Amino acid sequence: MFAEKEYRLPAEWEPQSGVQLTWPHKNTDWAPMLDEVTKTYEEMAREIRKREPLLIVGPPSNDTWARDHGFISLTPNPIHGGEALLLDFCFNGWGEKFPASLDNALNRRIFDEGHFCGQYVNHLDFVLEGGSIESDGCGTIFTTSSCLLAPHRNQPLTKEQIEDCLKTRLHAHRVLWIDHGHLTGDDTDGHIDTLVRIAPNDTLLYMGCENAQDEQHEELRLMEEQLRTFRTPDNWPYRLLRLPMPRPIFDADGERLPATYANFLVINGAVLCPTYNQPDLDAEALRIIGQAFPNRDIVGIDCRPLIQQHGSLHCCTMQFPEGILQ
C-alpha cells in the first residue's frame, strides 16, 4: 500500500459541493444553433440543481467546455488538515487548435469573485485539461498518451517528465497510461473521458466497438486488451464493463462526430448519461452504467446538440468536491 499524501484528487463519485456550467452565448461556436444547445444546457442544469448547487459562468469566454478550463480540485488529508487546493492549469484550446485566452482566464476571475473555498494554485506553466485525466480517489491517475504527449501541449517534456509533473502536482502515487483508443472526429487527441471511466469498486467502464468494419474498431480492441493488463494497487485486475458504440452520427458536411457513452457525469445521487436518440443502444448504455453505480438515479440526457461541436455531457461540466463551492 502507498503512504498517505497530504492532498488527493477525489473520485468523481465522492460527495460534491456543486457543478460548474459555462453557458453558451452568441460569441461562441454555438451561435448557429444557440437556441437548441441552450435547451440541452437547461436540461443539464435542472437535473444538477435537483441534487446540488450549480455555478453558471456567463460571458466572456471563448467556449463552454468547463471540464477543460475549470479548476481541478484537491482535498486535504484530514490527518494533515488545511484547505482545499484549486489548481489552475493552462488550457490552450487542446494544443492550440482553437482560441482559448478568455477561457484560460476564467478561473482566476471566478476565484477573485469569492465563489470558492480553498487556496488558488497557479499551474499555468503546465497544460492539463480536466477531460484528460481520471482519478480513483486513492492516488491512481488514468490518462492517455495520445493526449498528454500530443504536440503543442507540454513539449519538450518527455513522457517520464510529464508523469512526474502529474504525480507531483496532483499528489498522486502512480499514473496508468492508456496507449490505444481513438474516436473519429475527436478534437482533444483522445481525452480519457471519451474512452475510459473509473467507477467504484475498481471498475472501469470503457468504449467498445463490435463492428469489425468500423474505422474505430482496432484501436478500441487494442485499448481493451491493455485494460485487461492493468492492476489495482493491491494487484488485482480491474472489473471491466464495456459500453456500446453509438451508430455513426454525422454533421452537415458528412463528417463523423465522436459520439460516446463514456462521457457521463456523476453527481450527488445520480449519473447524468449522454443519449443520442438510438433507443436500443441508449438503453443498453444506461443499463451498464447503472451496474457500476447501482445506488444512483441513471438519467439520460439527449446530447445530439452537444456532439455537433465534438463534445458531450461530461465535457460541458466540472464538479467540485464537498466544501469547495460557496
- How confident is the model over 6-62, as pLDDT tens digits? 999 999 999 999 999 999 999 999 999 999 999 999 999 999 999 999 999 998 999
Cell of 183: 474516436
pTM over 0.95: yes
Would you place residue 143 in the very low, low, confident or very high pLDDT band (cuts 50, 70, 90)?
A: very high
Mean pLDDT, to the nearest integer, of 103-127?
Answer: 97
Cβ partners under 8 Å of residue 147, min gap 6: 129, 132, 153, 188, 189, 190, 191, 192
pLDDT for position 2: 67
Q: What is the pLDDT of residues 118-134, one digit of tens each?
A: 999 999 999 999 999 99
Q: Are 249 and 304 in contact (CB under 8 A)?
A: yes
pLDDT for position 5: 83
Would you place residue 82 in the very low, low, confident or very high pLDDT band (cuts 50, 70, 90)?
A: confident
pLDDT for position 81: 77
DSSP secondary structure, 30-85, as one string: TGGGHHHHHHHHHHHHHHHHTTS-EEEE-SS-S---HHHHSPEEEEE-TTT----E
Q: What is the pLDDT of residues 196-220, one digit of tens each?
A: 999 999 999 999 999 999 999 999 9
Q: What is the largest CA-CA distance in the chain?
A: 56
Would you place residue 3 in the very low, low, confident or very high pLDDT band (cuts 50, 70, 90)?
A: low
Q: Are 86 and 324 in contact (CB under 8 A)?
A: yes
> What DSSP character marks residue 137?
S
Instruction: Kindly state the percentage of the chain with pLDDT values over 70.
Output: 99
Instruction: Measure the CA angle with vertex 261, ends 38 and 53; round to 5°.
Output: 50
Rounded distance between C-alpha atoms, residue 80 and residue 4, angstroms: 10
| pLDDT at residue 299 is higher than 90 | yes
| pLDDT at residue 1 is higher than 80 | no
What does pLDDT average to over the chain? 97
| pLDDT at residue 190 is higher than 90 | yes
Mean pLDDT, to the nearest integer, of 78-96?
Answer: 92
Mean pLDDT, to the nearest integer, of 305-314?
Answer: 98
pLDDT for position 77: 87
